[in-house]
Structure 1
């Protein structure tokens, strides 16, 4: 029974990503999410209190999975350069493979009210911590000169975030992953990676 409930929960989240990316959060109706998930409209409210909670849980669950995956990938890295490459490659490939989620995270969450932003901050702060941890490891190993962790993280996250937004909004299709090496070169230069 629990497996069936979890499966339905995941279907609703997947449907919400698709519906919100197609219609926009404010225009998206719960019945569209239910239809895409293959459930009755009222079933949504057995899992979520409101459409706002659906959006929050989409971000928490999907981006939480993304960060957990990135942490796992980073365990295999032995150098700061390899860790930075993993961050860029994982960020770009995940967004490219999950375009609807990229649209939701890059466009819809930024227009939301402060309650939604507050609820998703835990995940964003976890990502910030992950990036700062990579920079700190680089400083401790002597691969990166002493630098302000917050500023370095802002540069890395901001660049990844802006590149993803630019990709989502591009008028002509292109790959996001083609930017991995140029972005890595930018970070290596800015951090004066040794």
Structure 2
């Protein structure tokens, strides 16, 4: 399988850097190849085109992220701790790789509709974890039994996404991971006094 070949990962990592530095539209396949230390033609052994590189990059990074979240939350005792962990890991993943943060928060949004649909498809695994945490929280009596899980899931993802986007736009001038406690508190307690 192509994904297990060492050059696949090299190309993915190079693409993150090149797209973060130049923007998706100005990132030629030749620049990605040069950064990866491979011939231009080698790229096409692994990917159909630049769009395929972007989708594969997101699949690869999001897949790794979802696996790490699943492993981590299995060790937690309740839905609140699982949600806290998910928020913290979401922030940490992007804080540790600012190029990836630029690509996910800025470049993926400028893509065409077909590309966005493929990216939304990749997000399903992540959103499924949020759904499970919410269902567990309802069963544990932590969350209101009548919440609209799909809507609350969108609100949680939207909140995390906006916090990261703001951090990227402010050129990472503050500690993103330190926002975890406040974001978790707001999501679980809302605006009630």
TM-score (ref. length: structure 1): 0.93
Q: Distance in 2 between matches of 1:55 and 1:167?
A: 22
Instruction: Give the RMSD, CA atoms, in angstroms.
Output: 1.8
Q: Is the 8 A contact 1:152 1:191 kept in 2?
A: no
Q: Distance in 2 between matches of 1:191 and 1:123?
A: 32
1:110 lines up with 2:117 in the alignment: no
Deviations 1:30-79 (A, max 9, x none): 11101110101111111111001000100001111111111111101111
State the partner residue of 2:163.
163
| 1:123 shift after superposition | 1.6
Q: Distance in 1 between matches of 2:86 and 2:3?
A: 34
Where do 5+ consecutive residues of structure 1 fail to align? Answer: none
State the partner residue of 2:63.
64
Q: Distance in 2 between matches of 1:149 and 1:191?
A: 19
| 1:155 shift after superposition | 1.6
State the partner residue of 1:173.
173
Deviations 1:119-164 (A, max 9, x none): 1222212211110110010001111111110121112111100000
Q: Distance in 2 between matches of 1:110 and 1:65?
A: 21
Q: How many residues align?
A: 191
1:35 lines up with 2:34 in the alignment: yes
State the partner residue of 1:139.
138
Where do 5+ consecutive residues of structure 2 fail to align? Answer: none
| 1:81 shift after superposition | 1.5
